Amino acid sequence: MVTETDDRGRLYLPRGLRDRHGERFRVVDLPSRVVLIPVDDDPLGAVRDAVGGQLAGRSVAELKRETRTAVREAVDAEAEERERRRNESEDASTTE
């Protein structure tokens, strides 16, 4: 699906998509793309439902720290890969 913002920067999401994923989204700005992540009415409840007892005995602070570290590592790896591809492309264009 392709969509565009209007003159005020608003993004139109079709009714079917909103029905499936809800009306609230977290906007995540990554080096190579923007991601919309649906926000559940009860985000912690949704996480508990999704992972079951794996969170037992773990504090919210600990989970946040681990998640932020994992996301930071993934974003850094993606940025490094994009930089590597850009450098390879520049090297290829200078040898032609």
Mean pLDDT, residues 73-93 taken together = 88
pLDDT at 8 over 80: yes
**Looking at the predicted structure, is the pLDDT value of residue 1 above 70?**
yes
Q: What is the pLDDT of residue 92?
A: 79
Distance separating alpha carbons of residues 93 and 87, to the nearest angstrom? 10
Domain ranges of the chain: 1-39, 54-96
Note whether 75 and 30 are within 8 A (CB). Answer: yes
Q: Which of 5-19, 47-61, 78-92 has the lowest mean pLDDT?
A: 47-61
- What's the whole-model pTM score? 0.47
75 pLDDT exceeds 80?
yes
Q: Average the pLDDT over 52-57 and give the result.
A: 78
